[in-house]
Amino acid sequence: DQQVKQNSPSLSVQEGRISILNCDYTNSMFDYFLWYKKYPAEGPTFLISISSIKDKNEDGRFTVFLNKSAKHLSLHIVPSQPGDSAVYFCAAGTPGNTPLVFGKGTRLSVIA
Amino acid sequence: DTAVSQTPKYLVTQMGNDKSIKCEQNLGHDTMYWYKQDSKKFLKIMFSYNNKELIINETVPNRFSPKSPDKAHLNLHINSLELGDSAVYFCASSQGGGLETQYFGPGTRLLVL
């Protein structure tokens, strides 16, 4: 029962172009969404988040868009850089001490 | 000055053995977690402790027993290891629970033969 789905296991993008990573969720109780980035042999690191009261949050080259009616969010990276090559995890949560639910991750390769 | 550290980084052991993984955070956080990333790459929470008290225990076999001697440490002891326990185990911490940003350790790669 995957409550958070990242249907693309991998994505390749040329340096300088836009990377778009997608995430779908099924639980309408989720009201907070996060993206984590993971390099090989390291733990995930927090990248950007968005709460359900917003539909967009921007931080430098990273923008997360939330479409609540479609239960879909996406992470845009522009311009993409080789150092962005990593696995990106989408996660969703609800207030209180309920655990975050993570997707399987999408491996992004930015080609120079 | 690693924020969340785990030892060992790699662990290869035989079925039936008992092993422990240690986790320490120097961020002053109140909440610590253990996650398991299995072969299908899902990152799933196992346990969450807040100020040394168990908050979340997600359908994990009794062979897994977390221990929090103080709020900076959360160790994971696994009894009678099985092949299916092979995975990467991540420790994490956050200031408060819920939706606070979690900081992850580098992971412990466990292989059970």
Yes or no, beta carbons of A99 and B45 under 8 Å apart? yes
- Chain B partners of A90 at a C-beta cutoff of 8 Å? none
A105 touches chain B (CB under 8 A): yes
- Residue spans of alpha helices (H) in A5-75: none
Mark A13-48 as b/e (b = at least 16 C-beta within 10 Å): beeeeebbbbbbbeeeebbbbbbbbbeeeebbebbb
A10 touches chain B (CB under 8 A): no
Sequence-separated (6 or more) residues with CB below 8 Å from residue B81: B13, B14, B15, B16, B17, B18, B19, B63, B112
Beta strand spans in A7-99 (E): 10-14, 19-25, 32-38, 45-51, 56-59, 62-67, 72-77, 86-93
**pLDDT tens by residue, chain A, 112 residues:** 689 999 999 999 999 999 999 999 999 999 899 999 999 989 999 999 999 999 999 999 999 999 999 999 999 999 999 999 999 999 999 877 678 899 999 999 999 9
pLDDT of residue A9: 93
> What would the two tokens of residue A66 be?
């939330």
Q: Which of B43, B56, B105 sits opposite A97 (nearest CB)?
A: B56
Sequence-separated (6 or more) residues with CB below 8 Å from residue A61: A77, A78, A79, A81
User: pLDDT exceeding 70 applies to what percent of chain B?
Assistant: 97
Yes or no, beta carbons of A45 and B55 under 8 Å apart? no
Query: Whose structure tokens read 């168990």?
Result: B54
- Chain B partners of A48 at a C-beta cutoff of 8 Å? none
Considering only CA atoms, which of A112, A107, A85, A109 is closest in space to residue A10? A107
A98 touches chain B (CB under 8 A): yes
d(C-alpha A97, C-alpha B69), whole Å: 21
Is residue B84 helix, strand or coil? helix
B61–chain A nearest CA distance, Å: 18
d(C-alpha A72, C-alpha B102), whole Å: 22
Considering only CA atoms, which of B25, B8, B10 is closest in space to residue B74? B25
d(C-alpha B10, C-alpha A11), whole Å: 29
Instruction: For residues B53-65, give the mean pLDDT.
Output: 86
| Beta strand A86-93 pairing with A106-111 | antiparallel
Considering only CA atoms, which of A99, A25, A90 is closest in space to residue B50? A99
Q: Which of A41, A46, A89 sits opposite B101 (nearest CB)?
A: A46
Query: If you measure CA to CA, which chain A residue comes closest to B48?
Result: A99
Position with higher pLDDT, A80 vs B56 = A80
